[in-house]
Amino acid sequence: MAGKECVIGVDVGATWSRVASYDMSSLAVEIDREPTDVSSSKAVSDQIVRMVRSVATEGGFGVASIMGICIASAGPLSMKEGALVKPPNLPFDYVPLVDPVAKQLKAPTYLVRDSIAGVFGEKKFGAGKETSNLCYVTISTGLGGGAIVDDHLLFGKDGNAAEIGHYIVDSKGRLVCGCGRRGHWEAYCSGKNIPRYVDLRLRETEIESVKRSVLCEETNGKISFVSAEALFKAAKKGDELSNQFVSELGIFNAIGFGNVVNSYDPELVTVGGAVALKNPELILNPVQDHVGEYAINKIPEIRITPLKENVVVYGSIALAVDQVSKGKSV
């Protein structure tokens, strides 16, 4: 195996963490996935180190063969400090990543927001290869985005450009986002917060219609404990109440996508994240039907990412390769 070199891509999500090795010669990719360890802030970096060692071994590399590591994570983050700062979807105020990973693995290590990695992964490996103006939207535990404008990947001063999940989609501000502000897109349409919106609407709905709903059956009558999964499952069964809530969420999504189109004027918007990947028609149909009501710019193609759940880890691979090829410290 002498002479083999690789880069490592990491995707730290609120629910899952993915780590991939990328063979610089054969272009082979090896990906592992585990539930994210949130037992402590230190556990997050320790898990990354352990998974990197494992995936490098599986790919036929030693740790010394790692040319660079790119960690992609939900923000907000400080690229200067190499850490997450008060992330709304992790239970910590501060999560250092770059220093502990770099010190233990002795490899150049770089931190980027996950959705920024996602749009770069789409550009290099996915549907955006021939596209100069591209956005990626993830609707998962949280909600975020990344943008490439005129072939330039947008980072921002702290690495938090295109934080689209914090666009305001409800001027009434009925729900509080995990960041502490009201009316944000993520507060309504992310997997973590969809149940909060459903709970809000259930309290405004006549009790008998709630009791007759498939949604009530899906939750065994414990409708106050409804999940995003139960809502979409009931909607797919034709439940009128659930489809009403899904339609309302679809309007909030259309407002959000309209803001994306107005902000970045993309040729293509790809969509990922567990909520969208598991419910593509229920998510995208209302957006495609209503986004024109909120966007002044020409509506681009809006589609599910062909890279599915691995779009971010492919993006982190692409960013690591990009930095190594430029001869920079990642």
Phi–psi pair at 44, nearest 5 degrees: -65, -50
CA distances from residue 194 to 91, 234, 273, 301, 327 in whole angstroms, order as listed: 19, 14, 14, 25, 44
**Model confidence, pTM:** 0.91
pLDDT class for 288, splitting at 50, 70, 90? very high
The pLDDT tens digits for 103-143 are 999 999 999 999 999 999 999 999 999 999 999 999 999 99
> Which of 18-27, 108-117, 232-241 shows the lowest per-residue confidence on average (mean pLDDT)?
18-27
CA distances from residue 179 to 47, 80, 91, 169, 182 in whole angstroms, order as listed: 25, 21, 12, 15, 9
The CATH fold assigned to 6-119+310-325 is: Nucleotidyltransferase; domain 5 (3.30.420)
Domain with CATH 3.30.420.40 in the chain: 6-119+310-325, 127-306
The pLDDT tens digits for 187-204 are 999 999 999 999 999 989
The pLDDT tens digits for 61-98 are 888 899 999 999 988 888 889 999 988 778 889 999 99
The CATH fold assigned to 127-306 is: Nucleotidyltransferase; domain 5 (3.30.420)
